[in-house]
Structure 1
Amino acid sequence: LLQGIHEQATSMQRLIENLLDMARMQERGVRLNRQWHSLEEIVGSALRQLREPLAQHVVNTLLTAQLPLVEVDALMLERVLVNLLDNAAKYTPPGTTITVSADKIGDSIVLEVSDTGPGGAPAPLFEPFARGQQESSITGIGLGLALAKRIVEAHGGQIEARPGQQRGMHFIITLPAGSPPSLEPL
């Protein structure tokens, strides 16, 4: 019972954070605190936050070795990943695989979150209050993906959703790679 209460409270906290962030962004736009960060650390932090919801899934991380630093607002990009991973945990059955991958392709960093669940989301997926399954027992109000889109676009990037090749959903985030500062020894 205590575990259930804890999980619901954590879910409610994410919901309230999404509502507050969306309200702030509506009022004054997206304000970013861009700095150079390791994508590995941002992904790791998002996965730690969702340890409980992801516990019944197989989670794979496929981050290319020697990924360059990315100039992003780490907390905002982490929020994007938390929303995508939380959706994957909610909408896929236990035991399915969720994969987070990243690579530098040309002048872009491509970050992907894929799952092997049922897939087949409706077209207005990134609209506020749009839900993957209308009238479902799955908690949420449909702000996570709309918030993710605003944050990614504020970074000069794009986010898209595609059905997986065989099943599931595939979210692709493309961010400008930029030119990381050189790390010279002191």
Structure 2
Amino acid sequence: MNNLLDMARLQAGAVTLNRQWNALEEVAGSALRLLAKALEGRGVDTRIPADLPLLRVDAVLLERVFSNLVENAVKYSPPGSGIVIAAQVEQSEGARQVKVSVSDGGRGFPPQMVQHAFEKFTRGDVESSTPGVGLGLAICRAIVEAHQGRIWIARQEPGQGATVCFTLPVEAQPALPEE
């Protein structure tokens, strides 16, 4: 129900971003703490460099992106398998951006789903006992795009896990107060 309400707000433009300077590692860590119970028995390897620039983002919404991507990794990969969250700065078309990836050790996205994965009501398993209505990735796309970023499924070999990547722009860093 929350996903439906969130999707409706995002599509209606009723969500105003509360952009603040945030460390990506803290936002990802907050999402992982919220998912602690679901992550029991799984290792999560975070590869976020300490010198990654701060990002001016809505931390609550970005936490939702991490939560949805990690929840999907848990749902669609074998129990006990690991999850990797990685980030790096890239230069693209003259602009700096942070590229984030969330990878799992599951079976990956079916080839026919890759093109439609971020559409509303698209599920990895149409007939399944896996909970969900297919809004998680659509919500991720709406949030990332509201931040002027892009989200996609990275290519992978069948059966080698799934990797979802997204980018966020790097803005001029805030001035630090003198000590």
TM over 0.5: same fold?
yes
Deviation readout 1:30-62 (Å, 9 max, x if unpaired): 421111111111010000011111112221101
Mapped contact 1:90–1:138 kept (Cα < 8 A): yes
User: What is the CA-CA distance between 1:29 and the residue it aligns to?
Assistant: 4.6
Identical-pair percentage? 47
User: What is the CA-CA distance between 1:159 and the residue it aligns to?
Assistant: 0.3
Trace 1:26-175 onto structure 2 (pairs within 5 A). 26-106=11-91, 107-121=96-110, 122=113, 123-165=115-157, 167-175=160-168
Which runs of structure 1 show a deviation greater than 4 angstroms over 4 or more consecutive aligned residues? none
For 1:39 and 1:69, the matched residues in 2 are separated by 7
Which deviates the most, 160-169 or 35-44?
160-169
User: What is the CA-CA distance between 1:17 and the residue it aligns to?
Assistant: 2.4
Mapped contact 1:116–1:164 kept (Cα < 8 A): no
Q: How many residues are paired up?
A: 171
Match of 1:105, SS state, is strand
For 2:4 and 2:150, the matched residues in 1 are separated by 22
Match of 2:154, SS state, is strand
Unaligned runs of 5+ in 2: none
TM-score, normalisation: structure 1: 0.87
User: What is the CA-CA distance between 1:163 and the residue it aligns to?
Assistant: 4.0
Which position in structure 2 is the counterpart of 1:12?
Answer: none
TM-score, normalisation: structure 2: 0.90
Matched, 1:17 2:2: yes
Match of 1:20, SS state, is helix
For 1:53 and 1:177, the matched residues in 2 are separated by 31
